[in-house]
Chains A and B, each alone.
Chain A
Amino acid sequence: MIAGLSRPTRNPGEHMDILRTGLVAGLVLAHAGAWARNDPLPLPVAETLAVEVYFDQPELAVFLPRERVAMATSDGLLPTLLVMGLESKAERKGASEIAPVRDRLIDYGFKEAFAPVLRARLASPGLSPSPQLTWSRSTIVSKTEASQMPQQAMVLLPYFAMDRNFEQLFVRLDAQLVDRTVLPNGALKVEERISRRYEFAFLLPADMEASPANWAALGAGKLAALLEQAGSQVMDMLAYDFSAQGRAQWDARIRGTDTVLDDEQFDGREERRGEHWVWVRTENDGVAGVRGYQRMTPEMITALGTGSRSAGTLP
């Protein structure tokens, strides 16, 4: 299957055929590539691994579970549209309700905060001792750019978000190892070798209602500190998951297992534990990866500090 499109843009003066980098198409390709699916993944993945980060998120997102829509697609177009309509309404409501938290973070730059952490943690024994890092806002590349892209790369997609019930504030990192081939017509063929999702979520203290108002009340400095810690955790997950120790867990059974942290139960097999936080491996199939949780305590919130102040909302 071909990942590239051949659609000219409206940009004057240049006929630029637009190609997708394969972040989407990579999920549906099965053709063998340079990192053949059945060959063991080298350790490290590559001495000089090309790592491409794509980030274009203007504000804290509200993520809805996609399972309902994914299930409806198998029932036909009408059920799909019906479920999409319901989900759209919920997402619209979420975008409205999360506004106070977004306003608190109006002077916070996720990319500016996360990029140094990513750069510092990327070089690791399992991934690469010398990763070559690039950041892009858009996944769009010209034919010329496509021909110059590395044949093998790790594609990273970071997000910062909350869930629809505002119970969790988290950082997500989707990671794919991809093989690319530029076809004679200039289109880009992309094969996904490995796809993983890493997330670390903070939860409000158990006696505090999970509401946007309570998250916003933490203030800009504490929210930023939480996102920084979550970003650091997902980078640790990435490095760990591709280490020899992490790889040994990729095929171990998960289904039916759960993990207890401070009298609270989380789905998934325990992978690592610290003071008041835990990582669990969540899936063998589907979206495989590692998820971390930490329920905050009043003492922890106090210790986060206050950080900078941002502008208030409309008086």
Chain B
Amino acid sequence: MRAASLVLALWLGGFGLASAEEETVDPSRLPAGDLSLLECDYRLIGVTDGRSDPGAGALPAVSMTFPEAAATVAHRLEAARWSSASGAPGVQVQIKRLYVQSLWAQRLGVAVYQVKIDGHPPFLVRAQPGKIGANYDAESAHERLGAAMTEANETLVGFLNQQCHAKTAAR
């Protein structure tokens, strides 16, 4: 019966229409993710929240809000060991999207950042890791949001390290 309800809800094709619970993201429940270390000096100027509202998507059993998204992303990025030298290029991160979504048999976490490095035009970093499974509760939503942030953070640090290598090669 639960499966039938899920099918019906999914057939309707909505985002969060079958939600039965509202929950605020608890940063302490997000899975810790590994993050590479920066290989040259970059200074994290800050992380801002560029979303129009704190909504963080929904799975069939839960609708999420994430008001502390900016502070959480900033905290997780700190693990890359940013420079505090005033001469290091500054990096600004703005969260554009951060949400969970259910597909037919998968849960998708999505994180999109707009990144601005001193002297360069802004660009987007998008991560949307999916996971097959039948759990659609708050725990799953936390897990997917954490995975999306981890992947986006790693993509950003990976890009910055590529710039480090490019700088070294140019010398």
Contact = CB atoms under 8 A, between A and B. Distances in A.
B121 A7 contact: no
A66 B121 contact: no
B70 interface: no
Given A84-B105, A314-B123, A18 B17 contact: no
B158 to A, nearest CB: 10
A11 B22 contact: yes
A23 interface: yes
Interface residues of B, number: 51
A30 interface: no
Interface stretch (A37-45, A53-61, A254-262, A297-305): A53-61
Contacts, number: 144
The dominant DSSP class at the A interface is mixed
Nearest to A80: B7
Interface string B128-139: 101010000010
B155 interface: yes
Contacts of A313: 123-124, 126
Nearest to B23: A10
A78 B15 CA distance: 25
Contacts of A88: 103-106, 132
Interface stretch (B31-39, B40-48, B49-57, B78-86): B49-57
The dominant DSSP class at the B interface is mixed
Nearest to B106: A88
B55 A137 contact: yes
Nearest to B98: A58
Given A95-B128, A314-B123, A140 B21 contact: yes
A92 B53 contact: no
A69 B11 CA distance: 8
Nearest to A138: B63
Interface string B86-123: 00000000001101010111101010101000001111
Given A69-B11, A314-B123, A140 B22 contact: yes
Interface in A136-169: 137-140, 157, 159
A66 B104 CA distance: 10
Given A69-B7, A99-B128, A106-B96, A24 B106 contact: no
Which 6 residue pairs of A and B lie closest in terms of their CB atoms, listed nearest first?
A: A88-B104, A88-B105, A311-B122, A84-B104, A91-B103, A58-B99
Interface of A: 5, 7, 9-11, 18, 20, 23-24, 27, 54, 56-59, 61, 63, 66, 69-70, 73, 77, 80-81, 84-85, 87-88, 91-92, 95-96, 99, 102-103, 106-107, 109, 111-112, 137-140, 157, 159, 311-315
Given A84-B10, A103-B124, A140-B21, 15 more contacts: A5-B20, A56-B16, A77-B3, A88-B103, A92-B108, A95-B130, A96-B128, A103-B126, A138-B16, A138-B58, A159-B14, A311-B121, A311-B124, A314-B123, A314-B124
